[in-house]
Structure 1
Amino acid sequence: MMRRLLAAALLLAALTACGTTTSAADIRLTATLVTPVDVTLTWHDDGPAPAGHVVEYATHDGGPYTVLGFVVAAQTSYRHQNIMPHTTFYYRVRPYYGPASEAVDVTLPPGAYDDDAHADDQAWAAPRAEPGRNRADQAIRAPDAAASGAPTDLAPTVMNDNGVRLTWVDHARDEDGYLMEIKAADAEDFQVVQVLDPRVNACGVATLPDEKRAAYRVRAFYYGDRSAIAHATTGGPP
């Protein structure tokens, strides 16, 4: 099973999905070359408070763009490290919004991850829309109704010493997709570990060593508009 995280088809959805919540002028993005091969991005978002931001980059102004990461709303900088020398990198940031489920705690049995032992995990871990858990009647893009579109009844099933299957009830009718988020026992905040298609209500997660005890939640989300593009040109290798 792919241990983590953003499968190519789902990243494509992240890059192409449209949103109408904020304008590009709401996010001020700066790219600063801090070493010959390291760029630090900083931004300020004057739009409605998001759940987080998506950071993207490309090596051509027109793309294609690749997701560097989903970061929490409190994070306003990102360092892109050890990148290709003598190259211009283009960056953009976009907010995402939407309500999350209640968190559930999971404790896994001891044991290190073994690829051979988990060769058939995809049979249970593949994201899917299962019958009976898609109500899909709430608009999460309407601020006064967004909370009612949060996923409910999030239920974990421990599949093995490093695998968890999660199911939930989908209430949103206008989401761009779902985000599976994990907060390890010693972590400060949740992090996005999977980007899922609309209407999905079940998926599996292969955990990392520090996630034997962790909280899980799932978010129905949609994208806001991207920032204007910022760019920086790297120098020679150090």
Structure 2
Amino acid sequence: MLIVTRVSPVDAKLSWHGKAPGAAGRIVEFATEPRGPWTILTYAPLGQTTYRHPDLIPETHFYYRLRPYYGPASRPVDVTLPKGSFTKAEQRQEHDWAPPRTIRRAGVRTSPARRPAATPTDLRAKIMHANGIRFTWTDHAEGERDYLLENRPRGGGSFRPVAVLDPDINSFGLITLPNEKRASYRVRPVTYGERSNIARLTTGERPAGRG
């Protein structure tokens, strides 16, 4: 059950309860029309039961819903990047290794033995420069809706998605944020469960001094 409350004229707080057996987490989505299009706000771990959506458009209808997502994660790999910020020289590089793609060759392939909810294997992380990592893995899943690349910064809490990829992808390059230079990474094929009820909120006038 999803509930939304207005904590200021342009700030919303979502809360929910209920179980999702076997789920890896929940997607929180919003729209400004009853039938969408829907935009993902966050991938919430199962223990999370609230979300704050701030600084909304004044005097507008907002609609919210939840969806559980399912799928087995690969074994994580730990990555430690060299020190240094994303330099202008690196920004000028073409980064042709970075776009998501499906590679079919020995060692980086889509497995012929595919089945639903199959765990990815052979996850590898290749450091391309001080702020770039190329990930490759073997895809065994069939019928997945998306692939998630997840990370957990060193010393952080739970894994969270940092990229959402199309089905069958098994190569992707990540340009890291500063807190992602020392982190654990894993990939997960996902399918989605039933949608929750839709919770509706109408914002008020923008408070003086905001915006």
TM-score (norm 1): 0.82
Partner amino acid, structure 1, of 2:143: D
Q: Partner residue of 2:143?
A: 174
| Partner Cα separation in structure 1 for residue 137 and residue 28 of structure 2 | 27
SS of 1:131 mapped into structure 2 = coil
Q: Partner residue of 1:129?
A: 102
| Partner Cα separation in structure 2 for residue 45 and residue 185 of structure 1 | 31
Q: Identify which range, 39-48 or 209-218, moves more after superposition.
A: 39-48
Alignment match of 1:60 (pick from 33, 55, 59):
33
Post-superposition CA distance 1:30-54 (Å, at most 9, x none): 1111111111111123332310111
SS of 1:63 mapped into structure 2 = coil
Partner amino acid, structure 1, of 2:111: R
CA separation of 1:50 and 1:123: change in aligned 2, threshold 3 A: same
Cα deviation for residue 115 of structure 1 reads 5.0
Q: Partner residue of 2:168?
A: 199
Q: Partner residue of 1:46?
A: 19
SS of 1:124 mapped into structure 2 = coil
| Partner Cα separation in structure 2 for residue 92 and residue 193 of structure 1 | 21
CA separation of 1:121 and 1:224: change in aligned 2, threshold 3 A: farther
Partner amino acid, structure 2, of 1:229: I
Partner amino acid, structure 1, of 2:104: P
| Partner Cα separation in structure 2 for residue 116 and residue 224 of structure 1 | 44
SS of 2:189 mapped into structure 1 = strand
SS of 2:57 mapped into structure 1 = coil
Post-superposition CA distance 1:149-192 (Å, at most 9, x none): 11001000000100100000011112112100011113111110
Say if 1:54 and 1:94, in contact at 8 Å, map to a contact too. yes
Q: Partner residue of 2:77?
A: 104
Residue 120 of structure 1 pairs with residue 93 of structure 2:
yes
Aligned length: 204
Structure 1 unmatched runs, 5+: 1-27, 141-145
Q: Partner residue of 1:157?
A: 126
Describe how 1:193-232 pairs up with structure 2 within 5 A.
193-232=162-201
Say if 1:137 and 1:173, in contact at 8 Å, map to a contact too. no
Residue 139 of structure 1 pairs with residue 115 of structure 2:
yes
| Partner Cα separation in structure 2 for residue 208 and residue 121 of structure 1 | 19
Higher alpha-carbon Rg: 2
| Partner Cα separation in structure 2 for residue 47 and residue 73 of structure 1 | 8
Cα deviation for residue 137 of structure 1 reads 3.1
CA separation of 1:206 and 1:44: change in aligned 2, threshold 3 A: same
Q: Percent identity?
A: 48
Q: Greater share of helix residues, 1 or 2?
A: 1
Cα deviation for residue 122 of structure 1 reads 3.6
Partner amino acid, structure 1, of 2:135: L
CA separation of 1:63 and 1:116: change in aligned 2, threshold 3 A: farther
Structure 2 unmatched runs, 5+: none
| Partner Cα separation in structure 2 for residue 233 and residue 115 of structure 1 | 44
Say if 1:127 and 1:201, in contact at 8 Å, map to a contact too. yes
The alignment's C-alpha RMSD in Å is: 1.4
Q: Greater share of strand residues, 1 or 2?
A: 2
